[in-house]
Chain A
């Protein structure tokens, strides 16, 4: 997204467009990355309910993955996961640095 100059934006920090949070990518803030395991996931959707950033991707009532462009890495999904071992594990982003 091209960033605009001070004369081109509404004053006072107002956001005129409703529901545009999806356009603001917050994935780079993450320290820990949730890694989802499709083999052990029971699709209870607790992670989907609890995620504060709507970053659990689902289709037809089943988890399909995680939206890393918006996930801030809070770890609530992993905490809520009832499976043992957990179907979502939090791993340090630095471990993925080489990728």
Chain B
């Protein structure tokens, strides 16, 4: 199955009460597939075809506020268009689950993979789970529902996977049985429903200087509970099907001197490179971030503690900031830990620029030099860029 098919399959098995739908490349096939399931009567989901992504998220918010299990999916400019309501979904504490098929934001217009869309959303209050492959996109979608609906969390979850690289390439999927998924997700009882006239509540009222701040602090608390919940659900999922999940994956990292930090499909390629380098006697390792929000900084700092040089791969740019968003988090995580580690930021793969094994080898070669000589002045590098400054 492709990543889109795998995620649509997870959605078929979840059979949400309401799915709101607007097409955008490379997510279109996902909803196309799910809409087929609705048309064929495989699910009794109310499929709401809307006129824009702003409406897609708005309708999902309305459905969730009524107590429904609500989902939608999008990518890139679609996510940008729904931005306003993305924040609102989180602040109303509505456990909406949304697969986002990572694609570069315009402009210039581009339909291929990078992480500028979801990285731009990192402060919206959504939990973000990044997927390495279609299997993880499927597994993350099934877990996302439980995480979002957990009473200690009650936050929406984005499940991301790389556009085209994962959304449109086929791999073998180990799916759960329909009955297993039904058991796994259980039933959802929302605490509030705007349609419950016996117990009427107001959702989304004006919230000014007197209480807005307090509600933001509550969101922080939901996010603080999320790491334990993500781990607990990741373990339970492992007991169900043998594939357990954590906040991040440490791949041959324990004794690694040269560590690469990445997320998304590049992690798969990096693992192959790490294996090759290990055969050559290079102590290489990978830290794959699954949960970027919440960002488990203490655990990540500990996992990277033995490295002599760290290369952080960013598939997006934070213009005017010192490096990409992942790079900044890693640097912040290591601040105050006492480890003097050379860190280099590799910005790569923008607009779908291919990230080959050779590119990753170039990054590791750069790290070797950093391990010997310390943090260089040119610590933000553009991997795969042509022209001056490219490596």
Contact = CB atoms under 8 A, between A and B. Distances in A.
Do chains A and B stick together as partners?
A: yes
B188 to A, nearest CB: 16
Nearest to B205: A15
A15 B214 CA distance: 14
B200 interface: yes
Interface string A1-34: 0011110010111111010000000000000000
Contact of B214 (A6, A14, A16): A6
A13 B212 CA distance: 8
Interface residues on A, range: 10 to 19
A48 to B, nearest CB: 24
B91 A12 contact: yes
A13 B201 contact: no
Q: Name B's interface SS.
A: loop
Contacts of B293: none
B182 interface: no
B207 A13 contact: yes
Interface residues of B, number: 22
Nearest to A4: B214
B205 A9 contact: no
B211 A3 contact: yes
Nearest to B192: A14
A3 B218 CA distance: 16
Interface of B: 91-94, 154, 192, 200-205, 207, 210-211, 213-215, 217-218, 221-222
Given A14-B202, A15-B201, A18-B201, 6 more contacts: A3-B211, A9-B218, A12-B92, A12-B192, A13-B215, A16-B192
20 contacts: A5-B214, A6-B214, A6-B221, A9-B211, A11-B154, A12-B91, A12-B92, A12-B93, A12-B215, A12-B218, A13-B91, A13-B92, A13-B205, A13-B207, A13-B211, A14-B201, A14-B202, A16-B201, A18-B200, A18-B202
